[in-house]
Amino acid sequence: MYPLRRNRRLRTNESIRSMVRETIISPNDFIVPLFVVEGKNVKEEIASMPNYYRLSLDLLESEAKELWKLGLKSVLLFVKVDDKLKDNSGKEALNDDGLMQRAIKTVKNAVPEMIVMTDVALDPFSKYGHDGIISNGKVVNDDTNMVLAEMSLSHAKAGADMVAPSDMMDGRIFEIRTLLEDEGYCDTGIMAYSAKYASSFYGPFRDALDSAPVDLKDVPTNKKTYQMDFANREEAIRETLMDIDEGADIVMVKPGLCYLDIVRDLKDAVNVPIAVYQVSGEYAMLKAAAEKGWLNHDAVMMEQVTAIKRAGATMIASYFAKDVVKLLN
């Protein structure tokens, strides 16, 4: 009771504030998403993601070394493949000498201790820009799962530490886990995008990989039949518990900031680590506001990643990872 309790006493100065601080950000909290392209010495800035780049394998190698020096210990790889290699079967995704497979080896060779995670979904390889195979105007579930399992196996063979299925098909974690076990990859982990919403915050990412759903008759123009409806909350728990039953080691909520209620629900409901993906649109919003001088970039960035961790994230996949760690140093 006031004046016996004065809450301001614990805010008197930075020493006291830092002593009672509940959430501390460190380099261990981050997964760094990286976009990979063919070529040599290629570093292309993504128009809607200022200061974020697509890198060729040689520059991926130097980037991995730099990240490691900064204390960042895990990367999440995405590839942008040539239109000529896109089809409706995901064939190129299974190519053991494909860009993803070479990217995995490149990072592992450069920094063996780096945790290499890989995106598993068909959209970068799909001529329709969908995460699965299209048949009769629909994204078909079970046939897609077979390809995702083979794709995961190919990543595991190339040396991936964890595969990260981002597709939201039903039952894909089970199919992936089963095939990895059968083939002797029992140590390869699965980070499941469990509560992934059909969000408009993915726009800049789709620019980065040129992977947006195409606007064609007889093909869905959005991902709402597999990604979750952003109006739903309980469904996120259902999705996540299923993925854990099927063998997910880490579960994910995506996007980040607008979905922190979901993060807290999962934190209370599950006992595996929770990853949060602070997505491309979240990155773009802050960069744009900061460019205009409307927001203080570094201060807002730290507030955002701290809020994500405070909500219950064990780790954060974020395009800000390097900026944050440089600031911490």
Do strands 162-165 and 250-254 pair parallel, antiparallel, or not at all (unpaired)? unpaired
Which is closer to ligand PBG, CB of 240 or CB of 280? 280
Which residue among 48, 56, 280, 318 contacts ligand PBG (CB under 6 A)? 280
Q: Is 119 in the site for ligand PBG (CB under 6 A)?
A: yes
DSSP 199: -
Which is closer to ligand PBG, CB of 106 or CB of 166? 166
Of residues 125 through 154, those in contact with ligand PBG by CB under 6 A are: 131
Around Cβ 112, how many Cβ atoms within 10 Å?
Answer: 10
Which is closer to ligand PBG, CB of 72 or CB of 191? 191
d(CA 230, CA 177): 28
Of residues 216 through 235, those in contact with ligand PBG by CB under 6 A are: 223
Which residue among 79, 279, 308, 324 contacts ligand PBG (CB under 6 A)? 279
Q: Which amino acid is at 61?
A: E
Segment lying near ligand PBG (by CB under 6 A), choices 5-13, 40-48, 155-163, 202-210: 202-210
Residue 2's SS3 state is coil
Which residue among 205, 226, 259, 320 contacts ligand PBG (CB under 6 A)? 205
DSSP string computed for 101-159: HHHHHHHHHH-TTSEEEEEE-SGGGBTT--SSEEETTEEEHHHHHHHHHHHHHHHHHHT
Segment lying near ligand PBG (by CB under 6 A), choices 39-47, 119-127, 177-185, 258-266: 119-127
Segment lying near ligand PBG (by CB under 6 A), choices 174-182, 201-209, 285-293, 296-304: 201-209
Around Cβ 102, how many Cβ atoms within 10 Å?
Answer: 18
- Report yes or no: 195 and 253 within 8 Å, Cβ to Cβ: yes
For residues 278-297, b (16+ Cβ closer than 10 Å) or e, as one string? bbbbbbbebbeebeeeebeb
β-pair partners for 139:
134
What is each CA distance from 92 to 6, 82, 124, 138, in whole angstroms? 63, 10, 10, 21
Which is closer to ligand PBG, CB of 58 or CB of 235? 235
Of residues 14 through 73, those in contact with ligand PBG by CB under 6 A are: none
Segment lying near ligand PBG (by CB under 6 A), choices 36-44, 63-71, 117-125, 135-143: 117-125
Active site residues: 196, 254
Of residues 166 through 195, those in contact with ligand PBG by CB under 6 A are: 166-167
d(CA 308, CA 30): 12
We find the least distance from the C-beta atom of residue 317 to ligand PBG, in angstroms, to be 8
We find the least distance from the C-beta atom of residue 206 to ligand PBG, in angstroms, to be 6
We find the least distance from the C-beta atom of residue 161 to ligand PBG, in angstroms, to be 18
Phi, psi of 12 (to 5 degrees): -55, -45
Give the interface with ligand PBG as residue ranges (CB under 6 A): 119, 121, 123, 131, 166-167, 202, 205-206, 223, 279-280
